Amino acid sequence: MLPSAFEVLGPVMVGPSSSHTAGALRLARVAREIAPGRVSSVEFTLYNSFAKTYLGHGTDKALVAGMLGLDTDDGRIRDSFSLAAEQGLAFSFRTSDEGTGLHPNTVDIAMGLADGGSLTVRGESVGGGRVRLSAVGGVAVDVAGEYPTLFVHHGDRPGVLARLTGALSAASINIATIRTFRDARGGDAYTVAELDEALPAELVAAVGAAPGVIFATSLTIPGALPVAAEGPQGPDFSCGADLLALCRERHASIGSVMREREAGLAVGGARAADETMGRVRRAMEVSVRATVERPECSLGGFLHGQARAVERRSGALAAPLLGGALSAAVAGAMAVLERSAAMGVIVAAPTAGSAGVVPGALIACADALGAQERLEGALWCAAAVGAVVMANGSVSGAEGGCQAEVGTASAMAAAGLCQMLYGSPETCLTAASIALGNLLGLVCDPVGGLVEFPCQNRNAIGVANAFTSAQLALSSVGCPVPFDEAVQAMTLVGNALPVSLRETAQGGLAACPSACAACGSWD
């Protein structure tokens, strides 16, 4: 199913990486909820991209923060080690080279319980802050936690499932999906039930006390917007062609269709959707200006004041070079990356590594036009474009390179700019296709494993690409490749990139001698 708009424009989070920071925190938080008792110690085993870049992404701090129950936008994430010491949580990290066949962002979370028990959970951060559990206690599972979810650990015995479903039925709780995973006949089993509504605590306790049940809990993903388990109640689409057909049918903009879809998807309807978009907008507005006004030093020391430098020179350079709106957009995009790299609060759009492009471009354009009332419509449009990419490809640098992150963000921004300037839905997707094509093949090569350089510069380039692509499309300069085909091409190119060019810090600029010397102890 196409993701919620707020899986694309979200989460609101502490940087620097949506997959390596917010996603890691969410994995640890869900693992903590599954543990049948108080966790006293935890060992994290990191694989693939996680293993190569976890220090520079703050993944270690985020994992510990998740075990402490913090949210993705909690400013205390950077201090999680000291908080853990205060709360008596022992933790350690190890890396493994045995990740062949695993998702690029995989972690094993081995928890020691205060009562002497233990439990190991394997999780994957799949991009943009979204997560999936792939194993619990050595049993292969598939748990995304996107809907209200009941997780039950039980023996593989006759009658257990009947009692479980009976308890839910008696409480008038409708089951959207239910799956049982087991390691062997008569052994341990785990049942995952996705529900139409959240469970009351007393019902979870009753299920946990039922014969044959070892442990039961309800799962929540921190920072996620509650969505209806039955799926969208309004318009729905799975690709750009479907989206355009809906726009023609309704004589509506892309942003209007996406907002209507979200209103039918969100628990709380249109009001909840609008309130969440308002929160996203406000967080973006703060993030594009905060470090221009007050520069911050990033974790790795590469970023400190670059956004302010661009903004202060814009008066002299705007006329012969970028122009006023684009100068402001570039400075705003760079400001977001500086704030993110200092573990400040930003909005992943669609990832933290590309978080500056959409707000930088759209807020600068709205300011230049004096048309702030058009901003949220443009954000809805951008979310629709990102959602199509998420559903049919990837926005993760570890899977598809920087083209998947900044490339997607640039396409989202280009479409949003077109809508803000009253371009047709077809024009918006043409701009998105041009933008994707312009950055096709862009590698992910973070120096020192840090989301700092060249990431900040590429967010600036993503903004410039979005402005150019929007102008081309609005000038009736078409693109022979439809948006859906451009997404497919990006996916194929991402699959063809070597691992060294997909967020491992082992190739590209990250492997240059000067870059290696500059990053010091980071490797």
Which tens digit of pLDDT belongs to each residue from 248-287? 999 999 999 999 999 988 778 899 999 999 999 999 999 9
What is the full DSSP assignment across 167-203? Answer: HHHHTTPPEEEEEEEESSTTSEEEEEEEESSPPPHHH
For residue 482, tell me if it sits in a domain: yes
pTM of the predicted model as reported, rounded to 2 decimal places: 0.84
Q: What is the pLDDT of residue 419?
A: 98
| Mean pLDDT for the stretch of residues 519-523 | 52
How is residue 300 annotated by DSSP? S
| Mean pLDDT for the stretch of residues 378-389 | 98
Q: Do 373 and 512 fall within a single domain? A: yes
Which tens digit of pLDDT belongs to each residue from 347-357? 999 999 999 99
Q: Return d(Cα 338, Cα 21) in angstroms, integer.
A: 15
Q: Do 496 and 412 fall within a single domain? A: yes
| Mean pLDDT for the stretch of residues 442-463 | 95
Which tens digit of pLDDT belongs to each residue from 90-110? 999 999 999 889 998 999 999
Confidence of residue 222 (pLDDT cuts 50, 70, 90): low
Among all chains, which residue has been given the structure tokens 């979204």? Answer: 130
Q: What is the pLDDT of residue 125?
A: 92
Q: Do 248 and 347 fall within a single domain? A: yes
- What separation in angstroms does the CA of 170 have from each of 164, 176, 213? 10, 16, 18
Range with the largest mean pLDDT of 13-22, 53-62, 371-380: 371-380
Q: Do 266 and 210 fall within a single domain? A: no
Given a cut of 80, whether residue 47 has pLDDT beyond it is yes
Percent of the chain with pLDDT over 70: 96
Q: What is the pLDDT of residue 522?
A: 43
CATH number of the domain enclosing 155: 3.30.70.260
Q: Do 202 and 321 fall within a single domain? A: no
Mean pLDDT of all residues belonging to the chain: 92
Q: Do 437 and 401 fall within a single domain? A: yes
Confidence of residue 422 (pLDDT cuts 50, 70, 90): very high
Q: What is the pLDDT of residue 513?
A: 94
For residue 130, tell me if it sits in a domain: no
Q: Return d(Cα 40, Cα 113) in angstroms, integer.
A: 5
For residue 43, tell me if it sits in a domain: no
pLDDT: which is higher, 516 or 359: 359
Question: Within 10 Å of residue 476's Cβ, how many Cβ atoms?
Answer: 8
Q: Do 372 and 442 fall within a single domain? A: yes
Q: Return d(Cα 487, Cα 401) in angstroms, integer.
A: 13
Overall domain count for the chain: 2
For residue 114, tell me if it sits in a domain: no
Question: Are 122 and 107 a contacting pair, CB within 8 Å?
Answer: yes
Q: Do 198 and 288 fall within a single domain? A: no
For residue 183, tell me if it sits in a domain: yes
Domain boundary among the residues 190, 220, 250 is at 220
> 159-165, long-range: CB within 8 Å, 24+ apart, which pairs?
159/211, 159/212, 160/189, 160/191, 160/210, 160/211, 160/212, 160/213, 161/191, 163/210, 163/211, 163/212, 164/191, 164/193, 164/207, 164/210, 164/213
Q: Return d(Cα 358, Cα 470) in angstroms, integer.
A: 13
How is residue 403 annotated by DSSP? I
Given a cut of 80, whether residue 491 has pLDDT beyond it is yes
Domain boundary among the residues 220, 254, 279 is at 220
Q: Do 202 and 274 fall within a single domain? A: no
pLDDT: which is higher, 350 or 519: 350
Identify the burial level of 332 via C-beta atoms within 10 angstroms of its C-beta, where 0-12 means exposed, 13-18 middle and 19 or more buried.
buried
- Between 158-172, 181-195, 217-231, 374-388, the lowest mean confidence (pLDDT) is in 217-231
Question: Are 109 and 28 a contacting pair, CB within 8 Å?
Answer: yes
Q: What is the pLDDT of residue 227?
A: 56
Which tens digit of pLDDT belongs to each residue from 185-206? 888 899 999 887 778 889 999 9
CATH number of the domain enclosing 432: 1.10.4100
How do 213-219 and 175-182 pair as beta strands? unpaired
For residue 17, tell me if it sits in a domain: no
| Mean pLDDT for the stretch of residues 364-375 | 96
Q: Do 198 and 251 fall within a single domain? A: no
Containing structural domain, residue 500: 240-518
Percent of the chain with pLDDT over 90: 72
Q: Do 258 and 202 fall within a single domain? A: no
For residue 85, tell me if it sits in a domain: no
For residue 394, tell me if it sits in a domain: yes
Given a cut of 50, whether residue 521 has pLDDT beyond it is no
Beta bridge partners of 193: 150, 178
How is residue 154 annotated by DSSP? E
- Between 68-82, 376-390, 403-417, the lowest mean confidence (pLDDT) is in 68-82
Q: What is the pLDDT of residue 523?
A: 43
Q: Do 338 and 432 fall within a single domain? A: yes
